[in-house]
Structure 1
Amino acid sequence: MPDGSNRTAIAQSPFAVYQSQLGSKLVEDPYQLEAINALDRLFFQLTSQKPPSPEVIQGLYMWGDVGRGKTFLMDLFYDCLPHKGKMRLHFHRFMARIHQALMEQAGQEDPLILVANELAKECRILCFDEFFVSDIGDAMILAGLFERLFKQGVVLVATSNTPIERLYENGLARHKFLPCITLLQHHTQSVNLVGAHDHRIENLSMKQNEVEGFEDSKYIGYTNKIDFLGIFTDLTQAIDPAEIRDKPIKICHRNIRVIKATEVTVSNSVVWFDFFDLCEGPRSQLDYMEIATQFKTVLLSGVPKLGGQIRSWIKARGTEDGIGDNQAAVTGERIVSYSESDDMARRFISLIDELYDQKVRLYLGTDVPLVELYQEGALLFEFRRTYSRLIEMSRN
């Protein structure tokens, strides 16, 4: 580990903050130390301080398994930076913002350049969490967007479960995304947090047998054992009954059924959904972003066992789906392999990611123990993150 003696003089450098939490909130991890040293060098470069190392870092791409501390380290770095000239978003929110900006620039000669120029004026350092490309629309945009941003000196710090070279792997028309991979490899240093520990669970002081046997908590358990009506009543007891409804609410300009919900204008807004209303139909990340923005607390009951035996299906080109290791593509039509309920599971994963990122309180009712919620299917890797996050959300 590089000598950090000169860095501790800067009280708010990432290395100094990280070091101050060792032994209390953090357990020393050599892979985290590698990442925090790289973040520290980048911090000094961005704040015009004399760097502790002559090595220049253009950006960082931190990747690894769930619970290795990627988001924690990026947020620590982000909080240490001055307030101006920085932006931190979940990757899905970042792309939603880009698509909205492109719509506003529709009709211009090159709207992507205009959008990139405006973004570069707003931030010098761009941080986003959970970099994962599965949509062809996003894939087509990113190469041109990053090329412009990097030319204007924007620095990227990103987290992902996937190495750069495997982004959008097996995706439709992936050859058009390859320039983006080349840009990322040139402009960012790849750091693999390959440690063996899930710090998210270990920081909750849960032993492995407790994790494997985890069934319920105050916030997560079997649907028939959680008094959702009682919880909703307790959460809304100070709210005027006229502000509570049981009729559909409008999300992304479309109606969605609720069991009960407060008006979004109340300070502690609460909504109670049945799982199938939220995850079975044609819902997208944009719906979950709006829900996480409008409501402070979400109750979700009736979550069934997800996944199942993987089968091969044929989809027309352009049909929305995720990209998994078991997917194959053929000319004309696409053959994709996943279980029958994986579409619902994918939406559930997106929902939990958004609620977690926006710190929305979640009460969750399931038909099976949480550890059995997804045991077979094409999304096993992605669901590991969801499971880890649900454990954390159930204990905080």
Structure 2
Amino acid sequence: MSGMLARYERLVASEELRPDPDQRRAAERLDRLQKDLEAETSGGLLSQLFGGRKTRPQGVYMWGGVGRGKSMLMDLFVETLGISEKRRVHFHAFMLEVDGLIREERAKESGDPIAPVAKRIAADVRCLAFDEMVVNNTADAAIMSRLFTALIRDEGVTVVTTSNRPPADLYKDGLNRSLFLPFIALVEAELDVVPLDGPTDYRLDRLGGIDTWHTPLGDAATAQVREAFFRLTDYNPEDAANVPSADLDLAGGRTLHVPKSLKGVAVFSFKRLCGENRGAADYLAIARAYHTVIVVGIPVMGPDRRNEAIRFTKLVDALYELRVKLFATADAESEGLYPAGDGSFEFARTVSRLEEMQSEAYMALGHGS
């Protein structure tokens, strides 16, 4: 099996990838980590010095905007890593697993569950690779510092992860964030932080010209946004039934269930977002957490749906302000969504924003910029 850097260089040479200095630096760093892990596992110098005890090559935290190639690099790293004790998992799925393990340990009434949970996770894992480290709820934030301290420092697990944010911005403005600050300190001390934050969004190329607004409602429109979801997340369409969900922290003890949540992409129904009583703060929480939002089932709204139209306006405002990409299935083009009713004149601004959000210039903007 060829190493990470050799595989990356072949992809560039064959023009499957464009030359990119940030990506190459990340590939070089991951290649060094591979060599350290493989030398340790094969009885190299580290294993000889420490008599077979688990040692811990420093992990890597890759962060950057959408489409910068983080998942591609992670794919290459895991595929070419020549050890069997490796595991790749989406971060949200991992934390759900951790919740289940903690419940099992608490049922034993044997004390603090964190150490035994970490030991169980680390039993056959030397390298733990995460896609999309993001923290959206207080429960995860409260346990992450203790859990990862146990995994990294006590169990000797090397962690490699991707994220859309630098460590200091994780769980930014989250409830009880002080509980989370030790985790940020742990990441900055124990993982090599590697930025991939250049201006090029390669993921847009992979959309292959798929439009963002699809009308009328029906199977054809649904198929288009479904295809966009799988291209944006690199998720296998054949495993569509198992796409992760999430519960987004809205503060004040409230959460919003996200039916499909993966790699910064969220899928909602219009009814869930705008048919229920929600305010601007809820929509801002969504816009901060996700770089792309897919909304399905947007209806034409008449005077009897004034409240839904107002909420939809607030949703679009929040997404627009934080440069979130919007894909939608709707019963009409944007100018026909709310043709008459209280506030329909003001709705013209929403139409203008929706039209701008479909432009190439808007799609090229970075999330949150």
Using structure 2 for the length normalisation, give the TM-score: 0.61
SS of 2:17's equivalent in the other structure is: coil
Q: How far did residue 91 of structure 1 move?
A: 1.1
- Seen in structure 2, the aligned counterparts of structure 1 residues 367 and 64 have a Cα distance that, compared at 3 Å, is farther
Separation in 1 of the partners of 2:96 and 2:240?
Answer: 24
Separation in 2 of the partners of 1:351 and 1:85?
Answer: 35
Deviations 1:162-194 (CA, angstroms, capped at 9, x unpaired): 111121122222112111111101110111102
2:318 is the counterpart of 1:377: yes
**Contact 2:293–2:327 (CA<8 Å) still a contact in 1?**
no
Q: How far did residue 375 of structure 1 move?
A: 4.7
Separation in 2 of the partners of 1:378 and 1:64?
Answer: 19
Separation in 2 of the partners of 1:25 and 1:111?
Answer: 46
- Seen in structure 2, the aligned counterparts of structure 1 residues 189 and 78 have a Cα distance that, compared at 3 Å, is same
Separation in 2 of the partners of 1:167 and 1:121?
Answer: 28
Q: How far did residue 122 of structure 1 move?
A: 2.5
Counterpart in 1 of 2:204?
201
How do residues 37-52 of structure 1 correspond to structure 2 at under 5 angstroms?
37-48=28-39
Counterpart in 1 of 2:3?
13
**Contact 2:88–2:129 (CA<8 Å) still a contact in 1?**
yes
Counterpart in 2 of 1:73?
73
The structure with the greater share of residues assigned to helix is 2
Q: How far did residue 380 of structure 1 move?
A: 5.7
- Seen in structure 2, the aligned counterparts of structure 1 residues 144 and 282 have a Cα distance that, compared at 3 Å, is closer
Separation in 1 of the partners of 2:239 and 2:30?
Answer: 37
- Seen in structure 2, the aligned counterparts of structure 1 residues 112 and 375 have a Cα distance that, compared at 3 Å, is same
Q: How far did residue 384 of structure 1 move?
A: 3.9
- Seen in structure 2, the aligned counterparts of structure 1 residues 173 and 304 have a Cα distance that, compared at 3 Å, is closer
**Contact 1:25–1:203 (CA<8 Å) still a contact in 2?**
no
2:225 is the counterpart of 1:224: no
SS of 1:153's equivalent in the other structure is: coil
Q: How far did residue 349 of structure 1 move?
A: 7.6
SS of 2:115's equivalent in the other structure is: helix
Gaps spanning 5+ residues in structure 1: where? Answer: 1-10, 232-267, 272-280, 293-299, 314-337, 353-362, 392-396
2:2 is the counterpart of 1:29: no
Amino acid at match of 1:104: E
How do residues 314-325 of structure 1 correspond to structure 2 at under 5 angstroms?
none
Separation in 2 of the partners of 1:154 and 1:34?
Answer: 23
Amino acid at match of 1:14: M
- Seen in structure 2, the aligned counterparts of structure 1 residues 168 and 305 have a Cα distance that, compared at 3 Å, is closer
Deviations 1:55-99 (CA, angstroms, capped at 9, x unpaired): x95011000110000111011101112362111111110110100
Counterpart in 1 of 2:134?
132
- Seen in structure 2, the aligned counterparts of structure 1 residues 103 and 225 have a Cα distance that, compared at 3 Å, is closer
Deviations 1:284-309 (CA, angstroms, capped at 9, x unpaired): 35x648xx9xxxxxxx99758979xx
Deviations 1:135-184 (CA, angstroms, capped at 9, x unpaired): 11001110000111112210111111111112112222211211111110
Deviations 1:184-241 (CA, angstroms, capped at 9, x unpaired): 01110111102211111235666xxxx7xx356xxxx324364579x8xxxxxxxxxx
Separation in 2 of the partners of 1:270 and 1:190?
Answer: 32
Percent sequence identity over aligned pairs: 31
Amino acid at match of 2:8: Y
Amino acid at match of 2:82: P
Counterpart in 1 of 2:257?
284
Counterpart in 1 of 2:112?
110
**Contact 2:215–2:221 (CA<8 Å) still a contact in 1?**
no
Count of aligned residue pairs for this structure pair: 270
Separation in 2 of the partners of 1:16 and 1:127?
Answer: 20
Amino acid at match of 2:139: G
**Contact 1:305–1:367 (CA<8 Å) still a contact in 2?**
no
SS of 1:284's equivalent in the other structure is: strand
**Contact 2:287–2:322 (CA<8 Å) still a contact in 1?**
no
Separation in 1 of the partners of 2:151 and 2:326?
Answer: 30
SS of 1:105's equivalent in the other structure is: helix
- Seen in structure 2, the aligned counterparts of structure 1 residues 364 and 174 have a Cα distance that, compared at 3 Å, is closer
Deviations 1:29-70 (CA, angstroms, capped at 9, x unpaired): 00001100000000100111889xxxx950110001100001
Deviations 1:227-272 (CA, angstroms, capped at 9, x unpaired): 579x8xxxxxxxxxxxxxxxxxxxxxxxxxxxxxxxxxxxx7988x
Separation in 2 of the partners of 1:72 and 1:386?
Answer: 23
**Contact 1:305–1:373 (CA<8 Å) still a contact in 2?**
no
Separation in 2 of the partners of 1:282 and 1:168?
Answer: 15
Q: How far did residue 20 of structure 1 move?
A: 0.7
**Contact 1:374–1:383 (CA<8 Å) still a contact in 2?**
no
- Seen in structure 2, the aligned counterparts of structure 1 residues 128 and 351 have a Cα distance that, compared at 3 Å, is farther
SS of 1:78's equivalent in the other structure is: helix
